[in-house]
Amino acid sequence: MSEGRAIPEATVARLAVYLRVLGGLAGTGLGTISSEALASAAGVNSAKLRKDLSYLGSFGTRGVGYEVEVLQERISTALGVSEHRAVVLVGVGNLGLALAGYGGFRNRGFDIAGLFDSDARRIGQRIAEILVRPMSDLPAVVRRESVSIGVIATPAEAAQAVCDQLVAAGVTSILNFAPAVLVVPENVDVRKVDLAVELQILSFHEQRKSAGLKVVL
Amino acid sequence: MSEGRAIPEATVARLAVYLRVLGGLAGTGLGTISSEALASAAGVNSAKLRKDLSYLGSFGTRGVGYEVEVLQERISTALGVSEHRAVVLVGVGNLGLALAGYGGFRNRGFDIAGLFDSDARRIGQRIAEILVRPMSDLPAVVRRESVSIGVIATPAEAAQAVCDQLVAAGVTSILNFAPAVLVVPENVDVRKVDLAVELQILSFHEQRKSAGLKVVL
DNA sequence: TAGATTGTTAATCGATTAACAATC
DNA sequence: TAGATTGTTAATCGATTAACAATC
């Protein structure tokens, strides 16, 4: 059953960052990179970077560093970026448009298998070459493309109903951008992205700083 | 100098969630709520909720629960939601439009003091009643409105230049939505929101689940 | 060999959780 | 008083970090 050690979530998030930084390095002709250099480019300390990489095995060269290509390969494989994964995106408002056009998804191996909206005026449009479909098409697309991940970018009021439809269609992981708390069955994994919470946290620290209070990061 | 204990970042994030859930309860005429009830509505366990609230003092009633209004008041005050904070938003593409129109900001006490873009066609437009200005207006707006927080919603290529301009104008906290790692002076706090990393993490767990491996959450 | 850098250990730190005394 | 629920303690767990032996 269990191969390799489990990788902590915090590490998974950073691995994705390292991969992007390495991508930015492509074309510099740099064949090898030290943990110190990569860490500083990614904004973490080198001990943490080495610890993170150690979850993927040991494939650096002491006294030298890591081969950039090997590093990219290992991280990509671990994250599963090499395989394509189909996702469906529901809600084609401003945020939905931003997400559909966002290159970061495709770069990380995510293909948008379908865009869905309840607004008849949207249906039939093409966004970034992807057709906007009615919600009634959802079950068929999810089945046909073996979609297991759904992204919700609707207004808060619609989010729970959309979530239910996604679950009914067979989606088991949901990324929720709507400002609503979703109720799902046990076997479904929901993750919430709250654009405002990030701003809130930033602002909180800002206030603490100016108040001269100790700030815990 | 130091009043009250420092509140952990994870707690700050959850406090914002509790506040939203409490807001959703308004109008139900519920005068009081137990940690158990609020926790389940917010999707956390009650021990964590009580621990979180304990950073704000002790103001519940044993055997009864918390008065909803008192709770809202305490959390709002701690998070500084009661005061208005001016932010500037740079980049009025799809994501920028989504953020400008996103009610969550205003609800949490953030006023967008200015929208900025480098595209002449955007300048002069009004989005959610806010005027889109040229970058040359940035320093004046930041000074006039005492803005300390900037939000970057530009393409990756433009992000660092915009960041430099924000810092030069006097902004000390930056929320970065662009897929780029930013370099800033020591005294500036940058926080990155990577829409794709969230999807990546979700997908990673999805793969692990289907591979029958142990997943660490 | 001398210098550099990895991979890993062990210490530290912070966050979560269960449990329960306090108390309404 | 009996039942309920808070607030806090202490145990546990996981993540970060410094330090250094291994080794290129």
HEC readout, chain B: CCCCCCCCHHHHHHHHHHHHHHHHHCCCCCCEECHHHHHHHHCCCHHHHHHHHHCCCCCCECCCEEEHHHHHHHHHHHHCCCCCEEEEEECCCHHHHHHHHCHHHHHCCEEEEEEECCCCCCCCCEECCEEEECHHHHHHHHHHCCCCEEEECCCHHHHHHHHHHHHHHCCCEEEECCCCCCCCCCCCEEEECCHHHHHHHHHHHHHHHHHCCCCCC
Longest dimension (CA), chain B: 62
Residues 45-64 of B with CB under 7 A from strand C: 45, 47-48, 50-51, 61-64
> What's the pLDDT score for residue A5?
54
Q: Give the tokens for residue B100.
A: 């400008």
Tell me: pLDDT of A107 over 90.
Answer: no
B184-210 pLDDT, tens digit per residue, is 888 888 998 888 888 999 998 888 777
Closest partner CB to B212 (pick from A1, A200, A212): A1
Place of tokens 């997908």: B203
Q: CA-to-C1' distance for B62 and D17, Å?
A: 41
> What's the pLDDT score for residue B216?
47
- Whether CB of B11 is under 7 Å from strand C: the answer is yes
Q: Is this structure's pTM higher than 0.85?
A: yes
Q: CA-to-C1' distance for B52 and D5, Å?
A: 16
Q: CA-to-C1' distance for A50 and C8, Å?
A: 10
Say how many residues make up chain B.
Answer: 217
> What's the pLDDT score for residue A213?
57
> What's the pLDDT score for residue B3?
35
> What's the pLDDT score for residue A106?
85
What is the percent of chain A with per-residue pLDDT over 70, rounded to a whole number? 95
* Nearest in space to A34 (alpha carbons), one of A3, A61, A69: A61
Do the Cβ atoms of B199 and A175 come within 8 Å? Answer: yes
Q: CA-to-C1' distance for B35 and D13, Å?
A: 23
A187 reaches B (C-beta below 8 A): no
Residue nearest to nucleotide C14 (CA to C1'): B8
Q: Give the tokens for residue A184.
A: 């799902």
B50 reaches A (C-beta below 8 A): no
A12 reaches B (C-beta below 8 A): yes
Taking residues A65-93, report their average pLDDT.
94
Contacts of A79 (CB under 8 A, 6+ apart): A12, A15, A16, A19, A108, B200, B204
> What's the pLDDT score for residue A217?
42
Q: Across all residues in chain A, what is the average pLDDT?
A: 90
Scanning every strand, the nucleotide with its C1' closest to A58's CA turns out to be: C7
For residues A87 and B111, give the distance between their C-alpha atoms in angstroms, rounded to a whole number.
34
Taking residues A26-41, report their average pLDDT.
89
Between A33 and B5, the more confident residue is: A33
CA atoms within 13 A on the CB side of B171: 33
When pLDDT is cut at 50, 70 and 90, the band that residue B83 belongs to is: confident
> What's the pLDDT score for residue A205?
86
When pLDDT is cut at 50, 70 and 90, the band that residue A212 belongs to is: low
Taking residues B152-171, report their average pLDDT.
96
> What's the pLDDT score for residue A2?
35
Q: Residue A67's CB: how many other CB atoms inside 10 A? A: 16
Closest partner CB to B199 (pick from A95, A105, A200): A105
Tell me: pLDDT of B2 over 80.
Answer: no
Within 8 A of B171 by CB-CB distance, chain A residues are none
The three-state secondary structure class of A50 is helix
When pLDDT is cut at 50, 70 and 90, the band that residue B214 belongs to is: low
The three-state secondary structure class of A131 is strand
Check: CB of residue A34 under 8 Å from CB of residue A2: no
Within 8 A of A191 by CB-CB distance, chain B residues are 198, 201-202
